[in-house]
Chains A and B, each alone.
Chain A
């Protein structure tokens, strides 16, 4: 072999202007560069799509972080002068503390690290605060006094931006005193709720171990104070108030509790009341049902090692459905009511969310005002941030000394903790996606108000205390369901149709059939979806019998027609132009379809009482929706048939001619050749066609969006609809706020779709190319 390149040979003979050659060379190099970089760029973009979508989902999986911010000693708060309450404003400029003995609020400047002032409660002059409760949102304070009253107050912070920098001024508002009847002794425990509509609910425990509760508007509390002024020295009588028609300010729970009450919680509707005594008995009341008897009592709180734990802290999470208990072994648990049977409105509570021990004994639980997170503090100095829905421990922090109080900044950006030794510490926290874990995305989660753990997708609700449900499983199941019913219909039609076209059809007819199928492929899915949803679904609503008969009548009719065709004498047959047999088949199909319609209507009346949907409902208890899987199957099939058809037809046609010729030469019939030679040889191609069709069906958006009811349900029944990943993205992503959980979860859905289709398609493509290589040589 010669090593001399051909062009060097030519150079000897051809005179070339060197300038031209140089220019040509430069242009050639330049073009080389541009085309190469352009080509590589396009390929990079492909990778970029995947990487970008992936990148957007990464933050979901990052763990929470906490930065220590303030660490100081506040000597005056060392035990036994531990304050009753700690809070912080949303700008994180002040922490405030309620002191019991002096009945005042201390404001602590977090930036400067010093106490700035103390404001006494004017209405509590000369009295002491015996117990206190702070609502998680808006800093309402319920203060039990040493002489048997409850004071409702509020700490608010007003920002002033007029000077350019923000100056926050704290103010203290005292609404009014509620007199707890029949006691002058210190209130033992108090709990309260204030709704955004200005409705207040409280519960208080007297020294006599009696529980009182009340519900009134904030205005009424203020007004009552004025009345109280008039009735100075006289105990407010609940009798008189109820006579005058106003709601009583204090209603007694007429029950003798076993032991000394140390925990109490009431929900914002004053419906559910939980009481814990020092004998470790938990009482559950449905106040509207019975004021004298608990609905249920619980006294067993056995942990995994069989030890009965003691409840040391109790709180409601936002929404007042889940009650969180802190135990003396450092564990916390979220409990909520579960119906014993359908229709019950009273529910016994049971442990649903369990969190590992942080050691020591839980001293305080502080719920978040925005989501289902809560802080648990333990007497060994650990402060844990847990998230109820996802069972996630977001953070585990440590301070010096036993945790006495903890607080959550309103925008969930800081955690503050005060220890019994007066050590005060704060942390900047960053846990943006607490509700997401692999379990909440793909597993069963026991959501509030549900009877059992479920897969559920419900991304947004009307209220703040809504628990978002981000399980992708029902969407995934919906996607597979849609694809399944689509393929169920499409595979036989497309594969056999392709077999007929490639093997049994006259080539002159083929030139018409193939472009028709290509047109079918080109039809926008929005058109198919529209027709399926608005035309086909109402049309087929009552014709389930007909659909069923189709699958019997068309094959049977075709076989009969084929037998008849067989009887046509050869002399006539020879003169029949090609394509007439196809026309005959089409006509047969149409006749069979018409017959099944007629028989369907008849059978509908004869056997199903004229309403097949009602009949199915009473027979199997399944509601037949108008936009069901039969409609989806037909519509999706329509979209998928041309793809499967084209690729399988390709595979059948690529089977080497010599194979079929050999088969015919051995005396095989066309069908025998088709099933024993063509199909096995082309089967990888058919398989890849089906895979690619599956990929298309999985990603189809508009058809499912328009032709299903879009309800995310976990069901494979053909009589109802579904919601698919793709339709879900299309519906929800325009409304999802950028960068937040919902937005990123939808990116996870998109990535799932991408991975699923890309894998399936690559697999199919590789198989197809192998097949092509294999028979290239033959």
Chain B
């Protein structure tokens, strides 16, 4: 090659095309493109979730328009959701034409059949945003969109027009409070009593099974009978009390009109939230948004999980994860210390280490199968026969529950803790350990006072990573105790407070269930996106903490080793 060209390359920094390909410079960029695809995928995924999930609670404007439907026209009001193009075949094989269409959430599921509807843009005209358009979040039938006509107490019209709206906003919180009070009575007090009645019935049945009861038993039966009567009375009183509260609240109702002029009387008891999106300032919208998010996090689900909040799912996920880490930490740490400090390093320990590493690669569903067969049917079934035989054939521990699910996940995540702990033990400088031993400390003292404190951050990293893994795992839970709707939380105020036999709800399963097993997939999508957002926020948060922690330790010991 002539030296001039080389000189030129050095001066300009650019290679001639032949040399460029010869040296494989283009491959550098091609490998970069591979990385960029991976990066785009992850960012794109997060973007899709955030953009779909975060906007759900923002009070979007109501759009009213005239819809041409054949000859007739009709007013429709709803929230604009999406645009798309429809492909329609032109008759006689003249190809295909594209028809732009728009999706609206028109709500009013009790009046129209579907609440998410696609309309062809060519049929839409006269788009406007009515200031007084009302959106209602209801207990049943999803949202209502329309206009407020009047406010009624017992069939008497109290206020109309703007005043009616004012009155509605004033009364709604009161009614909601009453509904919550009634629900609280039903849930806690009545629940407790029915639990007591159930227990008493079981005891009673047990006593009655004796064909020749002793005098003591007879008196006990009598005692139980009286107890039952008293409890049943109490049950009735509470029920009446709750009903009375509801009856009082039931007097209030609002009269509404849909965009196409149909009148609808909606009792305030059925309304969760009322707002006029087109009439709200940005600040009001922000407050509304925060309130909605709050409700999403702290409310119970409604309408087969498609609406309302996800509190039981969050709660279930947290309790399950905590139980899991309680189970996994001691064993994981013990195993790691054994492998690193006690076992004599040889082919056996190498094999064990490989096995543990590989356990992390065993499919989670296999752990689920093990959990179902071993914990639920074998251990749980045996426990039922030994301690809960009174309740049989209804299983207590012999069916999926939060305890079994947590233990299954603990098995699944034990390699994570072992590997992280081992790594952090290994990072403790030899010098520190030898110093301690040289000063006469025993092995255990060295471990307790030197190695363990130094490796705590590493252990924590392992636990956090295992929690993140556990919180996101669904498949093994599906078969060991997760349900779509758990009537009771696994931890509550009823004795013995921790109900480890109960089934529970889980955010990950909630996503699967609402997204794939609900009757109205379209209507449940926003809910799924929002739940997904919540779940990945939790998981990414946990991971970031773990990564930070790990980096910190690494830095610390990188310098510490030479100190």
Interface residues of A (CB under 8 A from B): 7, 10, 14, 16, 24-25, 27-28, 31-32, 34-36, 38-43, 45-46, 48-49, 52-53, 56, 492-497, 499-501, 504, 513, 515-520, 522-531, 533-535, 542, 554-555, 558-559, 561-563, 565-571, 573-574, 581-582, 585-586, 588-590, 593, 605, 609-611, 638, 641, 645, 669-672, 674-675, 692, 695-696, 698-702, 705-706, 726, 729-730, 733-734, 738, 746-747, 750, 753-754, 757-758, 760-762, 765-766, 769
Tell me the smallest distance from the CB of A262 to a CB of chain B, in Å: 51
Q: Are B411 and A566 in contact (CB under 8 A)?
A: no
A11 to B330, CA, bound (A): 35
B474 nearest CB neighbor, chain A only: A526
* A757–B366 alpha-carbon span in the complex (Å): 10
Q: Is the CB of B512 within 8 A of A706?
A: yes
> Which residues of A are found within 8 Å of B445, using beta-carbon distances?
24, 27-28
Q: Are the CB atoms of A530 and B335 closer together than 8 Å?
A: no
In the complex, which residue of chain B has the Cβ closest to the Cβ of A605?
Answer: B96
Q: How far, in whole Å, are A516 and B40 apart by their CA atoms in the complex?
A: 11
Q: Which residues of B contact A726 (CB under 8 A)?
A: 363, 365, 475
Residues on the B chain within 8 Å of A16, using CB: 440
B29 in contact with A699 (CB, 8 Å): no
Whether A699 touches B366, Cβ cut-off 8 Å, given contacts A42-B414, A524-B474, A531-B45, is yes
- CB of B563 closer than 8 Å to a CB of A: no
Output the nearest chain B residue to A696 by Cβ-Cβ distance: B361
> A-side binding surface: helix, strand, loop or mixed?
helix
Nearest 3 pairs of A and B residues by beta carbon: A699-B363, A39-B338, A570-B13
Asked if A35 and B356 make an inter-chain contact with CB atoms under 8 angstroms apart, the answer reads no
Partner of B512, one of A499, A638, A702: A702
Q: Knowing A493-B38, A496-B31, A534-B528 are in contact, say whether A611-B96 is a contact too (CB < 8 A).
A: yes
Tell me the minimal C-beta distance from B91 to chain A in angstroms. Answer: 14
A sample of 24 inter-chain contacts (CB < 8 A) reads A10-B440, A35-B341, A39-B339, A39-B343, A494-B34, A515-B547, A516-B42, A519-B544, A520-B41, A527-B511, A531-B45, A562-B30, A567-B14, A570-B12, A570-B13, A590-B40, A611-B96, A669-B23, A672-B24, A675-B24, A729-B368, A753-B363, A757-B361, A757-B366
How many angstroms between the C-alpha atoms of A533 and B49 in the bound complex?
Answer: 14
Chain B residues near A609 (CB, 8 Å)? 95-96
Report B486 CB to chain A, min CB distance, Å.
Answer: 16
* Residues of chain B within 8 A of A705, CB atoms compared: 475, 512
Interface size class of B (residues with CB under 8 A): 35 or more
Chain B residues with Cβ below 8 Å from A563 are 17, 20, 26
Tell me the minimal C-beta distance from A685 to chain B in angstroms.
15
A730, B479: Cβ atoms under 8 Å?
Answer: yes
Stretch in B249-257, B282-290, B369-377 with 4+ CB within 8 Å of A: B369-377
Give the A-B pair count, Cβ closer than 8 A: 348
CB-defined contacts of B536 to chain A, threshold 8 Å:
523-524, 527
Tell me whether A46 and B355 are in contact (CB under 8 A): yes
Contacts of B516 in A (CB 8 A): 530, 533-534, 706
Taking a contact as CB atoms under 8 Å apart, the answer to whether A610 and B334 are in contact is no
- B373 adjacent to A45 (CB under 8 Å): no
Q: Among the listed A42, A526, A562, which residue makes an inter-chain contact with B472, where contact means beta carbons less than 8 Å apart?
A: A526
When distances are taken between beta carbons in the complex, the residues of chain A under 8 Å from B372 are: 733
Residue B331, interface by CB 8 Å: yes
C-alpha gap A519/B547 in the complex (Å): 10
Q: Mark B10-37, 1 if CB is under 8 A from A, else 0.
A: 1111110100100111111111111111
Distance from B418 Cβ to chain A, minimum over Cβ atoms (Å): 8
The answer to whether B15 and A699 touch across the interface, beta carbons within 8 angstroms, is no
B342 lies within 8 A of chain A by Cβ: yes
Which of B362, B374, B511, B536 is the most central at the interface, judged by chain A CB atoms within 10 Å of its CB?
Answer: B362
Are A518 and B543 touching (Cβ within 8 A)? yes
Choose one: A34, A500, A669, A754; the contact of B366 (CB below 8 Å).
A754
Closest to B438 in A: A6
5 new A-B contacts, CB < 8 A, other than A519-B540, A698-B363, A757-B362, are A24-B445, A42-B335, A570-B13, A702-B512, A706-B512
Min Cβ gap B553→A in Å is 15
Contacts A518-B547, A692-B361, A765-B357; A641 near B20 (Cβ below 8 A): no
Tell whether, in the assembled complex, residue A610 and residue B515 are in contact, meaning their CB atoms are under 8 Å apart: no
Name B526-563 residues within 8 Å CB distance of A: 528, 532, 535-536, 539-540, 543-544, 547
A609 to B35, CA, bound (A): 35
Q: Which residues of B have CB within 8 Å of A530?
A: 511-512, 515-516, 528, 532
Q: Which chain A positions have C-beta within 8 A of B34?
A: 492-497, 500
Contacting residues, chain B, for A593 (C-beta < 8 A):
40
State whether A582 touches B338 (Cβ < 8 A): no
Using A496-B31, A535-B48, A757-B363 as known contacts, say yes or no to A702 and B36 having CB atoms under 8 A apart.
no
Measured between beta carbons, the chain A residues less than 8 angstroms from B330 are: 38
Q: Contact at A39–B31, with CB atoms within 8 Å?
A: no
B87 within 8 A of A: yes
Min distance, Cβ B3 to any Cβ of chain A, angstroms:
15
Nearest opposing residue in chain B for A490, CB measure = B38
Task: Say whether B343 contacts A562, CB under 8 Å.
Answer: no
User: What residues on B are CB-neighbors of A500 within 8 Å?
Assistant: 28, 31-32, 34-35
Does B326 touch A at the CB level, under 8 Å? no
CB pair A558 B38 closer than 8 Å: no
Q: Smallest Cβ distance from B138 to chain A, in angstroms?
A: 25
Docked-complex contact B33 and A555, CB < 8 angstroms: yes
Q: How far is the CB of B516 from chain A (nearest CB, A)?
A: 6
Chain B neighbourhood of A706, CB < 8 A: 512, 515-516
Q: B274 within 8 Å of A by Cβ? A: no
Question: Which chain A residue shows the least CB distance to B351?
Answer: A762
Minimum CB–CB distance from A506 to chain B (whole Å) comes to 12
Does B153 have its Cβ within 8 Å of any Cβ on chain A? no
Known: A45-B411, A570-B14, A761-B361. A585 touches B33 (CB 8 A): yes
Instruction: Note all chain A residues with C-beta closer than 8 A to B374.
Output: 48, 52
In the complex, what distance in Å separates the CA atom of A40 from the CA atom of B342? 11
Q: How far is the CB of A11 from chain B (nearest CB, A)?
A: 9
Contact A562 B25, beta carbon cutoff 8 Å: yes
Chain A residues, CB < 8 A from B444: 24, 27-28, 31-32
Q: How far is B536's CA from A678's CA once the two chains are assembled, in angstroms?
A: 36
**A52 surroundings in chain B (CB, below 8 A):** 370, 373-374
Partner of A753, one of B26, B365, B544: B365
Least Cβ–Cβ distance between A271 and chain B, in angstroms: 39
Task: Assess the B362–A766 pair: CB atoms within 8 A.
Answer: no
Q: Tell me which of B338, B357, B368 contacts A761 (CB under 8 A).
A: B357
- Which residues of chain B are within 8 angstroms of A761 by Cβ–Cβ distance? 357-358, 361-362
- In the bound complex, CA of A726 to CA of B473 (Å): 14
Least Cβ–Cβ distance between A396 and chain B, in angstroms = 33
- Report the minimum CB–CB distance from A377 to chain B (whole Å): 39
Contact A35 B363 (CB under 8 A): no
